Structure 1
Amino acid sequence: MAEAFNFELVSPERLLVSEDVESVLVPGTEGDMTILKNHAPLITTLKPGLLDIVFAGGREARYFVKGGFAEANPSGLTVLAETAINRDDLDAAKMDQAIKDAEEDVADAEDPLKRDKVQIHLDYLRQVKITLGL
């Protein structure tokens, strides 16, 4: 059993997690990395992917993160994510409906700038669905 350390996951909307954890798998742009207690100082940007958390005591959680950065040091880890969605908060039916709605928005958009914006959102939704295996 790994030693516990402080971990915080923050999105623009709120603090999502602030607990002691045993490990966190971080999807860094230079590659995925597992952070444990007493990690050497490190700052990395995040790529879209899964943040796997093992809490002290063995409970696990999985978040889809997109954008932002992670800062590790010997006393803990902080992840500031542009987007962070708890895997347990999503289901396939809701995701399929959101993708269908976004596809309709793209098809209906007459303004090229608006079309680009809704296309980016559609691409994001598809990435979440693929990454989470929904």
Structure 2
Amino acid sequence: MAETFQFDLVSPEKLLMSDPVEEVIVPGADGQFTVLIGHAPFLTTLKPGVLDIRNADGTSQRIYVNGGFADVNAGGLTVLAEQAMPLEEVNAEIMALQITDAEEDLADAGDDAEKRAVAQKQLDDLKDIQRWLLPG
């Protein structure tokens, strides 16, 4: 049996998961990274994407997250997600609403180059996820 570490996934609404796991692949702002037991501590932001979780019993689950933070520390991994839902619950309507919100954020950024860059990146990430999750 592989070694495990504590993984907690928290959304604004509730604690979604608090279990020992073998591995979690996280959509970090600077690219995906894999957390295993003994990972070096660090804190990073998340981009929209999918958490790939390998549970202690060998089963896997995939959870869509739309932004947030990941905290890797001696106690394990905590993901504070702005929004999180099992991948099978993600549908075209949810993605369309998130893309509309991101387009509004881009429009609201006006002439502020930094805000526009952040909003454009968020929009591009969501469109990539939409193409990946909902082909066709």
* Same fold by TM-score greater than 0.5: yes
> 5 Å matches for 1:41-60?
41-60=41-60
Query: What TM-score, normalized by structure 1, do the two folds share?
Result: 0.72
> 5 Å matches for 1:30-69?
30-69=30-69
Partners of 2:7 and 2:79 in 1: how far apart?
8
Q: Is the 8 A contact 1:22 1:56 kept in 2?
A: yes
Q: Is the 8 A contact 1:2 1:36 kept in 2?
A: no
Query: What TM-score, normalized by structure 2, do the two folds share?
Result: 0.71
Runs of 4+ in 1 over 4 A off after TM superposition: 123-128
Matching residue's letter, 2:66:
K
Which residue is equivalent to 2:113? Answer: none
Partners of 1:12 and 1:130 in 2: how far apart?
26
Partners of 1:5 and 1:63 in 2: how far apart?
18
Which residue is equivalent to 1:116? Answer: 104
1:23-66 alpha-carbon deviations (Å, 9 max, x no partner): 00011111110000111111010011111000001111111111
Unaligned regions of 5+ residues in structure 2, if any? 108-118
* Structure showing greater Rg: 1
Partners of 2:13 and 2:128 in 1: how far apart?
21
Q: CA deviation at 1:96?
A: 5.1
Partners of 1:76 and 1:60 in 2: how far apart?
18
Q: CA deviation at 1:132?
A: 2.3
Which residue is equivalent to 2:21? Answer: 21
Which residue is equivalent to 1:75? Answer: 75
Partners of 2:71 and 2:95 in 1: how far apart?
32
Partners of 2:83 and 2:94 in 1: how far apart?
20
Q: How many residues align?
A: 115
1:51-92 alpha-carbon deviations (Å, 9 max, x no partner): 10000011111111111100011321000010112112235x
Matching residue's letter, 1:129:
Q
Partners of 2:13 and 2:129 in 1: how far apart?
19
